[in-house]
């Protein structure tokens, strides 16, 4: 199982992140200051670190040095949204940077992207009679391959990482298509309908009035 260290000094935020990552199938541990995080990095093995910058004892930039020494990828997770801070973090070796407040769906999508970049994603995902091989991007239903487009595949992963959670159309569009949602057109709706039909998920992916969709498991 993928193991993630969450380094965040605000306990409520740390627990919220952990709860959602655990629901998505990850194993998580918490550290509430930079020194505790450095100790955990020295003693244990992690696949990814979500790291706040403003921390007691050691700041996030200092903790990043510990993570780099053992080749653990880092996503900075902080309220410091200024471009200068973002550039500094990325230049020091962070893989990504997410400014608070953020959508959980966005966080999960970025976590998946970084893990895939480091080839640390779980290779097999399953949902009912559907099996997804994340290495080959092959999807099978009942043992038979299903031909999905790139966007349909990414949409499927987004739903799997957000089971039983309502996803706004804006969140779906920005996570899968990568741009700002304008509200015009039916791109999201059409792709969801095709995905449901191809994988027999008509009863499981439900529309939420004036919101978006939810995969009910």
- Segment 61-111, tens digit of pLDDT: 999 988 988 889 999 987 766 667 777 777 788 888 888 888 888 888 889
Token pair listed for 81: 């949204």
* 182 vs 21 pLDDT, higher one: 21
Q: Edge-to-edge strand order for the sheet containing 130-133? A: 124-127, 130-133, 138-141, 144-146
Tell me: pLDDT of 120 over 70.
no
Paired tokens of 18: 């952990």
Residue 204 C-beta-side C-alpha neighbours within 13 Å: 20
- 178 CB contacts (<8 Å, ≥6 apart)? none
CATH topology of domain 124-215: Arc Repressor Mutant, subunit A (1.10.10)
Domain spans of the chain, in order of start: 3-117, 124-215
Model pLDDT for residues 124-173, shown as the tens digit of each residue: 788 889 998 877 888 999 999 999 998 999 899 888 878 888 888 888 88
Residues 6 or more apart whose Cβ sits within 8 Å of residue 162: 24, 104, 105, 108, 215
Name the token pair of 135.
């290495």
Q: What is this structure's pTM?
A: 0.63
Tell me what percent of the chain is helix, strand and coil, each rounded to the nearest 5: 40, 20, 35
Q: Quick one: three-class SS letters along 145-192?
A: EECCCHHHHHHHHHHHHCCCCCEEHHHHHHHHCCCCCCCCCCHHHHHH
Answer whether CATH 3.40.50.2300 is correct for domain 3-117: yes
Nearest CA to 69 among 110, 38, 103? 38
Name the token pair of 197: 């039909």
Strand ordering across the sheet containing 212-215: 167-168, 212-215, 205-208
């Amino acid at each position: 199982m993928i193991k993630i260290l969450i380094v965040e000094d605000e306990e409520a935020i740390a627990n919220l992140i952990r709860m959602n990552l655990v629901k998505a199938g990850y194993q998580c541990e918490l550290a509430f200051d930079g020194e505790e995080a450095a100790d955990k990095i020295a003693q244990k093995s992690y696949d990814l670190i979500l790291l706040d910058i403003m921390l007691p004892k050691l700041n996030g930039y200092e903790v990043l040095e510990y993570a780099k020494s053992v080749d653990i990828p880092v996503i900075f997770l902080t309220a410091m949204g200024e471009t200068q801070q973002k550039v500094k973090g990325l230049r020091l070796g962070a893989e990504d940077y997410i400014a608070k407040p953020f959508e959980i769906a966005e966080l999960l999508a970025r976590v998946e992207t970084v893990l895939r970049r480091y080839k640390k994603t779980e290779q097999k995902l399953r949902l009912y009679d559907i099996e997804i091989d994340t290495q080959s991007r092959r999807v099978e239903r009942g043992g038979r391959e299903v031909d999905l487009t790139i966007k349909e595949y990414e949409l499927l992963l987004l739903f799997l990482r957000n089971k039983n959670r309502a996803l706004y159309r804006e969140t779906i569009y920005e996570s899968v298509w990568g741009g700002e949602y304008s509200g015009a057109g039916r791109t999201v709706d059409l792709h969801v309908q095709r995905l449901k039909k191809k994988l027999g998920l008509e009863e499981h992916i439900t529309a939420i009035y004036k919101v978006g969709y939810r995969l009910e498991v």
